[in-house]
Amino acid sequence: MNIQLSACPSAGISSTGDGVPVVLLHSSMGSKKQWRSLIERLRAKYRVIAIDLYGYGETAFPAQTGHFSLNDEVELVRAALADVLAPWEAFHLIGHSYGGGVALRLAFDSPQRVRSLGLFEPTAFHLLPSGEPGLAQIRAVFEQVRIALEQDDAPAATRRFIDFWNEDGFFDALPAAKQVEFIRQSAKVPLDFRALLHEPLDIGHYRRLDMPMCLIRGTQSPRCATAVVDVLATLENARAHQVVGGHMAPVTHADAVNRIIEDFIASLDVEALAETNAA
């Protein structure tokens, strides 16, 4: 696969294709590159914009970390989009994992610009009730990662994080160069966790969203991720889907995930055309 992505003024953003914009936000320890197969699938009909979040890909680590929040990531995305879109241009918004949490906050802050919201297991842990087992599960992982980093053992922290979202032994089986790349990014993970756990919005806030929402979950994903999907699936405008695979299915089972996303966006185009013709 050979996709030529146009250079944009902001580091960490790529844009290709023409048409209605589709904005893609990646997972923690990921980058805009995780969306290459979806970009290939969509670029013939849409303008596809992929953005590196703070500390990943070509985007620098945030300068201020003391009170880092999802809102900081939202401001980064807004600034990146300002380089490639007009202020009035609306877009479809797709997010995976941490990128899904950022996408939710962006949709809440700028609902007039988000045509639709497609989310694969957004890790919006702040939506989980205190007694939810999945919340205890992810807090335990966060604590293990935090302790390893405090002990200056970035490889151990990275291994715990990567294996949790994939399977035991996954990190050690990776090529050495990929391991080094992940280890280099590990310092951002606690900021992601903290932003997701302490976001002040709750499900009541998201009930105000009226754009169509597509939720996707994997059959083998951890409880903390699928429990968030269950909460969001209670929204009137949300439709839930399931694919074979785990939390990293947008990478490991990309064809199945991408097909759902493409069909979701295309169905909205059909509805918009029908409304225009009826008018």
CB 102 within 8 A of CB 95: yes
Instruction: Give per-residue pLDDT as tens, 76-108.
Output: 999 999 999 999 999 999 999 999 999 999 999
List the domains of the chain with CATH numbers: 13-128+201-278 (3.40.50.1820)
Structure pTM? 0.93
> Of 69, 91, 70, which is closest to residue 82 (Cα–Cα)?
91
Sign of the CA dihedral running 173, 148, 52, 28: positive
Those residues with Cβ within 8 angstroms of residue 66's Cβ, 6 or more apart along the chain or in another chain: none
pLDDT digits (tens, 9 = 90+) for 188-215: 999 999 999 999 999 999 999 999 999 9
